[in-house]
Chain A
Amino acid sequence: MHMKLLIIEDDREASDYLEKAFAEAGHQAHLARDGETGYALAGDGDYDVLVVDRMLPKRDGLSVIAALRAKGIETPVLILSALGEVDDRVTGLRAGGDDYLTKPYAFSELLARVEVLGRRKGRGDVETVYRIGDLELDRLSHSVRRAGQEIVLQPREFRLLEYLMRHAGQVVTRTMLLENVWDYHFDPQTNVIDVHISRLRSKIEKGYDKPVLHTVRGAGYMLKAG
């Protein structure tokens, strides 16, 4: 899955690194060093995701996003910021951002989030049944089957699996899970998510020869067939 990204970031070293890292991950990234250029490029180009730093020369990130949204450009935006308070996140999302990441961040986290954002475009949440290999999740009847066998899950496990299946084939980080399944944005001291995952894994993989829930080292998890 190849994506075209626009990175609006004034820190030369950081943006050059991002460009290279995204290229290695198979994506094409364009750079803009200030808000004005970023706004112009984002308005013209057909980007899959915008990565916008909050503090930019000429025009700050939030106003760029707000202006783009006002123009009817709905490209998903991930905001990068050195400001990490809960409020900053809320303000950022309210300005039209779709996701928010605080510096310093791990590139794997950024990549995972950008890929999720890029895939979201054009793919609605309209499906009622998710299928990955022989694993099947019905959102309406709240039931999960593997190879036709019913698997009983706790409500939270169901939501965890639902999120993983919606983003099947993509890396999903622990913080993304905490944010989307539990709706908290803090950083737990112990990796509680891992325990939830291993519980879920034992339910959906035990007795079946093929693993579906994979651990991506240094990044998170990925649900995929085979």
Chain B
Amino acid sequence: MTARLPAIFKTTATRLSALYLLLFALCAMILVFYTTSLSVRMLTGQLQETISDEVPILGRAYQRGGVPLLVRFVEQRSRQPGANLYLLADPQGRILAGNVEALQPGVLDIEGWSDTPFLYSRFAAAEAEAETANEGHRAVAFVMRLPNQMILLVGRDLGEAERLRFVMRRALILALGFMGLGALIIWYVVGRRALRRIDRVSDAGRRIMAGDLTGRLPISGAGDEFDRLSENLNSMLGRIASLNEGLKQVSDNIAHDLKTPLTRMRNRAEAALAGDKRSGEYRKVLEATITEADQLIRTFNAILMISRLEAGYSAEQTGSIDLTAIIADVVDLYEPLAEENGVAFVADAAANASVTGNRELIGQALSNVVDNAIKYSQGHGENPTVRVALRRVADAWRIDVEDSGPGIAEADRARATERFVRLEDSRSQPGSGLGLSLAKAIMGFHGGGLELSGRDPGLCVSMTFPDRKAD
């Protein structure tokens, strides 16, 4: 844990906790000081009122009975429990009567209200309940000079206000202490918890980086922001893993599908070199080699194109294109081939369909699909037929290419569009095995899709184009 501490201090949680603590403490202090000073002022005001009430009474006593009556009044009031402070002094400041034993010097020199509380002490005898009589007390007082120059002081002890202030301060300190403690606990719990989860995520990340692409970030199930983050990172990892898997599969396939023709080429050249041959035979070998090399180039180009399209950063030009015209072109291109192969070729594309896309790419996709359809229908069934139909489906245009070939078993359909996949029964057919995957990549590039569905008999390849103009 000590090793953790430096890390925990660097967290956002710590910084936020400290900031909040500081703010709340400041607020609490301001609040407490404000209430205290307000209460103390109010209390002082009350005291002054009590004194103000007393002063005229004593003044009247002096007018009526002179000093003796005043002294009597003062003595009498002094003895009452919880009495005010009274003091009568001669012009020189010597105390004549009252319950004040000693005063801070200078208090009697200023007439009227004493601006600041002053220290005084009371006669121990007069204050029965006072245990701390000899200690200095603080008080406020009103000082007046009688007509005969004697000085009369009426005051009130500030003990209550002082006590209030004391209690408030203690409360403040206590509150601040609890607040700090609370903040500390919350910060520790929250900060450490967050830190622990982040550490877990980092650990998982490190493991994944180390090569374990199947690893996933832990999800606590709390559905909080950490979970959301982890979920997103996990789906990102899933995407990376699937791309990686695709890449791996492609390299495997390249290794297999490209190595075979390369080996064949090499062997043929080797066989041609061995033994004496006539120039006509060399020619034949070389021609076959060129044909094979061309096929390889074609395969490479298709792979490159699929990768570019799938990566999605291709900036191929798109514009408004006429699907009907493209269908007409492809039909025109393939009709003789179909006829030669004894396949009836029917097109139903009367609708005038305009979509956003790239004419070349769509033409290529459709021609690949049609090419496949003819290839697999050929010689299959009574009346081999390939039908190309343009249909309006919800907000999309769909080109269906239906054939009457052997079809593809439902379980294999998803695989059929994968790169290089030539389902076992079709291995004998010519082709790179890239036709459908290229078509699918092209459809993906156009924001559409390519789906395979079964017919009885045959296969239907549906190419869906979202109608972007409808947006």
Contacts and interface: CB of A to CB of B under 8 A. Distances in A.
Contacts of B333: 178, 182, 184, 188, 192, 196
Contact of A90 (B317, B368, B431): B317
Interface stretch (B104-112, B133-141, B298-306, B450-458): B298-306
Contact of B358 (A86, A106, A189): A86
Interface string B163-184: 0000000000000000000000
B367 interface: yes
B258 to A, nearest CB: 14
Contacts of B435: 189
Interface string B362-403: 011001100110110000000000000000000000000000
A85 B368 contact: no
A121 interface: no
B225 interface: no
A86 B357 CA distance: 12
A210 interface: no
Contacts of A1: none
A188 B301 CA distance: 12
B393 to A, nearest CB: 26
Given A102-B301, A187-B301, A188-B367, A182 B290 contact: no
A119 to B, nearest CB: 25
B360 A185 contact: yes
A225 B290 CA distance: 28
Contact of A218 (B287, B302, B317, B375): B287
Interface stretch (B212-220, B308-316, B347-355): B308-316
Interface in B30-72: none
Contacts of B301: 84, 102, 187
A84 B305 contact: yes
A86 B360 contact: yes
Interface stretch (B142-150, B334-342, B410-418): B334-342
Given A187-B298, A189-B371, A87 B337 contact: no
B323 interface: no
B334 A189 contact: no
The 5 A-B pairs of least Cβ separation, nearest first, read: A186-B364, A195-B336, A189-B371, A195-B337, A86-B360
A188 B367 CA distance: 7
Contacts of A104: 297, 300
Interface string B106-131: 00000000000000000000000000
A20 interface: no
Contacts of A217: 287
Contacts of B340: 195, 198
Interface of B: 287, 290-291, 293-294, 297-298, 300-302, 304-305, 308, 314-317, 329, 332-334, 336-337, 340, 358, 360-361, 363-364, 367-368, 371-372, 374-375, 430-432, 435
Contacts of A141: none
B294 A106 contact: yes
Contacts of A139: none
Contacts of B300: 104
Interface in A93-112: 102, 104-106
Given A86-B317, A87-B317, A187-B301, A218 B364 contact: no
A184 B330 CA distance: 10
Interface string A172-205: 0000001000101111111010011011000000
Contacts of B430: 190
Given A86-B316, A189-B372, 10 more contacts: A86-B317, A86-B358, A86-B361, A104-B297, A104-B300, A184-B364, A187-B298, A189-B435, A192-B334, A192-B367
B304 A189 contact: no
Contacts of A196: 333, 336
A156 B360 contact: no
Nearest to A89: B360
A23 B337 CA distance: 38
A192 B340 CA distance: 10
A49 to B, nearest CB: 23
Contact of A182 (B294, B298, B329): B329
23 contacts: A84-B304, A84-B305, A85-B316, A86-B361, A90-B317, A106-B290, A182-B329, A182-B333, A184-B329, A184-B364, A186-B361, A186-B364, A187-B298, A187-B364, A188-B333, A188-B367, A189-B371, A189-B372, A189-B432, A190-B337, A195-B340, A217-B287, A218-B287
A186 B302 CA distance: 10
A105 B298 CA distance: 10
Given A184-B364, A217-B287, A218-B290, A87 B316 contact: yes
Contacts of B316: 85-87
Contacts of A185: 360
Contacts of B317: 86-87, 90
Contacts of B368: 189
Contacts of A156: 332
Contacts of A84: 301, 304-305
Interface string A43-57: 000000000000000
Nearest to B359: A184
A15 to B, nearest CB: 20
Nearest to A106: B294
Contacts of B372: 189
Contacts of A195: 336-337, 340
